[in-house]
Structure 1
Amino acid sequence: MSIHPAAPALTAAVLFGASTPLAKLLAGSIHPVLLAGLLYLGSGVGLGVLLLVRAGLGGSEPGDASMRIPRRDWPWLAGAILFGGVLGPALLMAGLTGTSGAAASLLLNLEGVLTAVLAWVAFKENADRQIVAGMLAIVAGGVLLAWEPGGASFSAGALLVAGACLCWAIDNNLTRKVSSNDAMLLACLKGAIAGACNTLLALAAGAPWPAGLPLAMSLLVGLLGYGVSLTLFVVGLRTLGTARTGAYFSVAPLFGVVLSLAIWPELPGPLFWAAAALMTVGVWLHVRERHEHEHTHEALEHTHAHRHDEHHRHAHDFPWKGEEPHVHPHRHEVLTHKHPHYPDIHHRHRH
């Protein structure tokens, strides 16, 4: 049974959404900036261990093409780490000191909007009215979910939070440029580098090192809520494009609220149910999308895990035992055909 292309992005949203209330449980015992660093560090270190385990089990080896990032992709990855892992969290932490929690929660909905706008305008990713309507429904649900009547007062700190959202939107679009590489390796590098930067920054500012149990819990939450989530997010970028993956990921707060209600039981109010309905409608509009037209694939050379489907009909210049999926550099010749598709790594054409 085939898995819907939206499944990785939605699973990423579930894991990331669940990490928020779990991180809230840890916030009282760990300095906020240090906690942000440890979450990313848990992601990078944990995924590094998983990569070694995968190599030991025969899934890949250090010399494999899957474990190398081409030189042409490093500027995009460096930009993604800078904007998403260093500048974004720093702006958010600075902004939270000057704005209310309600205003910050509302402003964080800008990430999905800015991600889609950049994808559609700057990177020319296609979008029809159904996708735009689904995005608006998801964002509207996020606004309702975070809304606190009388609690959303905006200040100079709000501009910093909005700046953080812009940084993450840039990060999402830059990561899309390198999404054909090994998703776990990309997430590991982003987590390790960003986590080290934020952790060192917090320690330099005088944040105390946490006790053993809170430390272990923060690293575990970071592995699942940031590391595995980011790995699946990159898979979503590869198969769905930036705007659609960003839209699915925008439902993460809904899962966070559900887990929060399980940890701190209370009856949800009407805004929660209205938000859940809007987000459900938005996801439904995206899932039922059928984008089909005649299109031409330009000649392309890249490396990623693939099967020999209609887009991968090539010979091998090395011994191959028929294992699929497999990873190696390969070339796509010019091809014109018609079939349903998303703006994935093989369908980034103009309309």
Structure 2
Amino acid sequence: MKIWGYLSALTVAILFGVWFSLDKTLLGYLHPIVLASATYLIASCFLFIINFSPLKKKILKIINSKSKVEDFITKKEYGILFLTAIFGSVIAPAIYLNGLNRITAVNAALLANVEILFIILIGVFFLKEHVKRKDIVGFVFLLIGAIFLSTNNLQNIHFDASLFGSILVIVSCFFWSMDTSLSKFLSHKSNIIYITALKCAIGGLILLLISISLGLSFSLPLDKLPLLLFIGLVCLSISLPLIYFAIRIIGSTRTGSIFALSSLFGAITAFLVLGEPLTVTQLSFGVLMIIGVYILYMGDNDQNV
């Protein structure tokens, strides 16, 4: 089952990388909050359709076949679900897309590696996980990569739009790390399709209300609609249930570490689809951050699951 857990996390990393880079195209037409609202509402509708269709039993039978799961969701767990929705489906995407609107998709994808650093810090200070000497080296590699990427090799130390965009991306990573860490308390529930559908609905509706209150435009050219549907129906609808499955099997810290690979897939997607430059320097610091992730989990044992 661990193989399926790792494959699920890897699939999420690929979908996240593609998702965040393709969002860059739609930001030319939609405000970041409107875009986030639309994608989460599309994913929610699709997941609820699956949840009330005959497919649900077949999917859950496969997912839950070798796992100890619970059917009942307590009030406390609904509270946790609401928090994950606020952190991961409202605050994080809204901040991230505002940051992405100010920097290139390549840099945003590479900066997404910082999420694993936050996941480790949450594990150390709140979940009381053990820190080894090698972990310090991994932390340093992640920080160096983040600093150089966000400042364009230390050239943009002044507070300009580009640096502000990088800071927004890093802040969004913190809220996504909170989402990932809290999600482990829901991963043992049997119906993760319903959980993710409800989570997307909460986030999408809140963002929709914010968009309406701010008087933001929902106008999108028809030729861009397939791209929006692809992001909501494929990238988001598939990745979110897989996150809970991966956390259930291999734990939140391992799942979070594999998410760092989304930066690589995002940078490649931005290069191939958007035509953004992919320099050797960017790749070098991206690789440095990935090495940092590898060091953090090299020889890791089951105590962190």
- Give the structure-1-normalised TM-score: 0.68
Contact 1:239 1:342 in 2 (8 A): no
* Percentage of pairs with the same residue: 26
Distance in 2 (CA, whole Å) between partners of 1:143 and 1:282 is 14
* 2:178 pairs with 1:170: yes
Distance in 2 (CA, whole Å) between partners of 1:284 and 1:122 is 22
SS state at 2:123 partner: helix
Aligned 1:160-309 pairs, distance under 5 A: 163-181=171-189, 182-209=191-218, 210-265=220-275, 268-279=278-289, 281-282=291-292, 284-285=294-295, 289=299, 291=301
Distance 1:144 1:163, change over 3 A: closer
Q: Aligned Cα RMSD in Å?
A: 3.6
Contact 2:50 2:56 in 1 (8 A): no
Aligned 1:12-161 pairs, distance under 5 A: 12-55=12-55, 58-59=58-59, 68-92=72-96, 101=103, 105=108, 109-130=113-134, 133-134=137-138, 137=141, 140-141=144-145, 148-149=152-153, 150-151=155-156, 153-154=158-159
Larger Rg belongs to: 1
Q: CA deviation at 1:116?
A: 1.6
Amino acid at match of 1:34: V
Distance 1:14 1:143, change over 3 A: farther
Contact 2:112 2:263 in 1 (8 A): no
Q: Which runs of 5+ in 1 are unaligned?
A: 292-340, 345-351
Amino acid at match of 1:178: L
Distance 1:342 1:223, change over 3 A: farther
Distance in 2 (CA, whole Å) between partners of 1:280 and 1:110 is 10
Distance 1:119 1:56, change over 3 A: closer
Deviations 1:195-253 (A, max 9, x none): 12112321332223334443442132123222322222222222232232222212212
Greater CA drift, 154-163 or 12-21: 154-163
Contact 2:70 2:188 in 1 (8 A): no
More strand per residue: 1 or 2? Answer: 1
Distance 1:241 1:138, change over 3 A: farther
SS state at 2:52 partner: helix
SS state at 2:129 partner: coil
More helix per residue: 1 or 2? Answer: 2
SS state at 2:184 partner: helix
Q: CA deviation at 1:60?
A: 5.4
Distance in 1 (CA, whole Å) between partners of 2:144 and 2:7 is 22
How many residues align structurally?
290
Distance in 2 (CA, whole Å) between partners of 1:260 and 1:121 is 35
Deviations 1:6-40 (A, max 9, x none): 22222211100111221112222222221111111
Distance 1:191 1:250, change over 3 A: same
